[in-house]
Amino acid sequence: MSLKARITEDMKAAMKAKEAAKLSAIRLLNAAIKQKEVDERVELDDAAVAAVIEKLVKQRKDSVTQYEAANRQDLADVEKAEIDILSAYLPEKMSSEEVAAAVAAAVAQTGAKGPADMGKLMGVLKPQLAGKADMAEVSKLVKAALAG
């Protein structure tokens, strides 16, 4: 079952169970997926759907920090609940050791030598690790690998 189909099935289940918070988060996700499909005139595959989910999770995390800074714990809790619901659709994250091994393998594969090769290296790593690892962390590891 594709990720989009799973999301739709979960939305139906949330409707039947009258889970308002879950239903709201899933509807938001469905709207974001449909918007992306309409904008780009394509049918999104699982990787693209995962990218949409990651974007929504990142937005929620930013909102949580702003709400907590403004002493609005009630709103922060709502955002955290949405993060939990949305995160369930993301693939399992790789450990830092697995990410480091993937970076080392990509360096060996591309023959990257210095910082000028970072773009080439990230081009190889992004399709492999998108959704499975924090790309900011991957970027730091790549910079460290190319610096030393």
Q: Spell out the per-residue pLDDT of the chain, length 148, in tens.
A: 888 999 999 999 999 999 999 999 999 999 999 999 999 999 988 878 888 998 999 999 999 999 999 999 999 999 999 999 999 998 888 877 888 888 888 888 877 777 777 888 888 888 777 777 777 788 888 888 877 6
Question: Quick one: CA dihedral 102, 103, 104, 110, positive or negative?
Answer: positive
Prediction pTM value:
0.72
pLDDT tens, residue by residue, 16-33: 999 999 999 999 999 999
Contacts of residue 44, defined as CB under 8 A and 6 or more positions apart, other chains included, come to: 4, 33, 36, 37, 52
